[in-house]
Amino acid sequence: MNPKINKALEIIKIIEEAGGSAHVVGGAVRDTFLKRQTKDIDLATSFKPDQVMKLFNKVIPLGIEHGTVLVRYKSESYEITTYRTEEGYEDYRHPDQVQFVRSINEDLARRDFTINAMALNSRQKVIDPYKGMEDLNHQVLRAVGHPEERFKEDPLRMMRALRFASELQFTLEQNTYSAIQKQAHLLKQISVERIAVEFEKLCTGRDYNRVLPLCFTIGISNNIPIFQDEPQLIKILPQSRLTSFAEIVAFYCEKGSIYKEDDWIKKWKQSNKVKRESIMLLKAVRRFRENDRELNWILYNLSGSLIVKFSNVMNALNYKVNQQSLEKTYEQLPIQSRKKLAFQANDLLLVFHDQRKGAWIGRSIKRIERAVVLGEIPNEYQAIKEWVKTWKPPEIV
């Protein structure tokens, strides 16, 4: 049993000793039986937030109006929410009304899928009113109750269904599948940022090569950015998993998307960090395609933090590179940043003291960097100085 789960069971016993009831709920229960690591462990309780807050020293009121507090217990964080039912989803995300209830079974009725609608009590007994364990054993993803109602409450659940299908290698139960087909258009009501999180996780899943084409078949791709304009892209399968949105952008741009990296970032509302990474990755891929003999220079310009992502994109494009080999090559470069260069701008100005300062300095330093990284000259002050002195003025203007 996960040590964090054991601590959660201790929390439950504290609540029980105070006269309440509580359960571990959601993905933590599912992942425990799938023997998967789980980061977040959520609890549901019969107690109201103020009752929970009296029992623990460190409590943060995350969303008291919805019955949720964050409890810090033995250096771990746990979200604890009062058993509740929900009604009305005017914004297709948040319930218009929340009603606290006393029964864990009523609480589980509002969950998305049967495999997420199980609970674990302090004696480690599973409460499973929707046969989630059976679906877990048969590797089936089934919506709780009426699928169309679940997806209308929060259309993002359709993306989550496909994400789980990819991550867990599960198949969609027929009624769940049909409901997604019928209601895929509701995704237009959901913020792009939320969809992007699920799409990224889908691409990272072990069964991405089956589920990505399913996005087209089931109608999801017609209702998400870029792919709604280029539906054929969703059928282009990476040869290996992509693990970040920057990798996804670089892959599809290299595969012929009519949209540039900037367009992908804007339409998917990604961060500037993702933008920078996707541009750098795509530039590296195209440099490699044009001249793979300059791999050292390509890796140098990427920097160590992007080597893994570059490797992922390259393998997705079927270049079959070895990540460890790339990392080793990077580590063995003569320099890994301009700061390590033995010859800097001031040294350059001493050699060409008659030249006025200008853009030629940056261009010249880059030329030196490139020569050092590619092993054309050693990273030694005197060697670089002698080489630079052979340059003719027109080359530095």
Would you list the DSSP string of 183-212?
HGGGGGGS-HHHHHHHHHHHHHSTTHHHHH
Which is it for strands 22-25 and 68-73: parallel, antiparallel or unpaired? unpaired
Please indicate if the annotation marks 88 as binding a ligand: no
- Round the average pLDDT of the chain to a whole number and report it: 93
The answer to whether residue 188 scores a pLDDT higher than 80 is: yes
The answer to whether residue 335 scores a pLDDT higher than 80 is: yes
pLDDT, tens digit, for every residue of 8-67?
999 999 999 999 999 999 999 999 999 998 888 999 999 999 999 999 999 999 888 889
Q: What average pLDDT does the segment 235-263 reach?
A: 97
Q: What average pLDDT does the segment 200-212 reach?
A: 96
Give the C-alpha separation, 175 to 135, whole Å. 14
pLDDT of residue 175: 98
Share of the chain above pLDDT 90, in %: 86
Please indicate if the annotation marks 27 as binding a ligand: yes
Q: What average pLDDT does the segment 264-279 reach?
A: 97
Please indicate if the annotation marks 111 as binding a ligand: yes
CA distance to 122, 210, 349, 353, 381, per residue, from 387 (Å)? 74, 56, 14, 16, 10
pLDDT, tens digit, for every residue of 344-365?
999 999 999 888 888 999 999 9
CB 139 within 8 A of CB 170: yes
Q: What average pLDDT does the segment 326-339 reach?
A: 95
pTM: 0.89
Confidence of residue 395 (pLDDT cuts 50, 70, 90): low
pLDDT of residue 100: 82
Q: DSSP for 134-174?
A: HHHHHTEE-BSS-HHHHHHH-THHHHHHHHHHHHHTPEEPH
Please indicate if the annotation marks 30 as binding a ligand: yes
Please indicate if the annotation marks 42 as binding a ligand: yes
CB 40 within 8 A of CB 2: no
Please indicate if the annotation marks 160 as binding a ligand: yes
Q: Which of 59-63, 80-84, 306-310, 319-323 has the lowest mean pLDDT?
A: 59-63
The answer to whether residue 397 scores a pLDDT higher than 70 is: no
Please indicate if the annotation marks 338 as binding a ligand: no
With CA atoms as reference, report the closest residue to 192 among 151, 231, 156: 156
pLDDT, tens digit, for every residue of 86-133?
655 565 555 556 788 889 999 999 999 999 999 999 999 999 999 999
The answer to whether residue 3 scores a pLDDT higher than 80 is: no
pLDDT of residue 86: 64
Give the C-alpha separation, 27 to 36, whole Å. 10
Q: What average pLDDT does the segment 234-242 reach?
A: 95
pLDDT of residue 87: 59
Which is it for strands 97-100 and 84-87: parallel, antiparallel or unpaired? antiparallel
Please indicate if the annotation marks 157 as binding a ligand: yes
Please indicate if the annotation marks 26 as binding a ligand: no
The answer to whether residue 394 scores a pLDDT higher than 80 is: no
The answer to whether residue 396 scores a pLDDT higher than 80 is: no
Q: What average pLDDT does the segment 293-301 reach?
A: 95
Question: What does the angle CA 318 – CA 324 – CA 329 come to, to the nearest 5 degrees?
Answer: 100
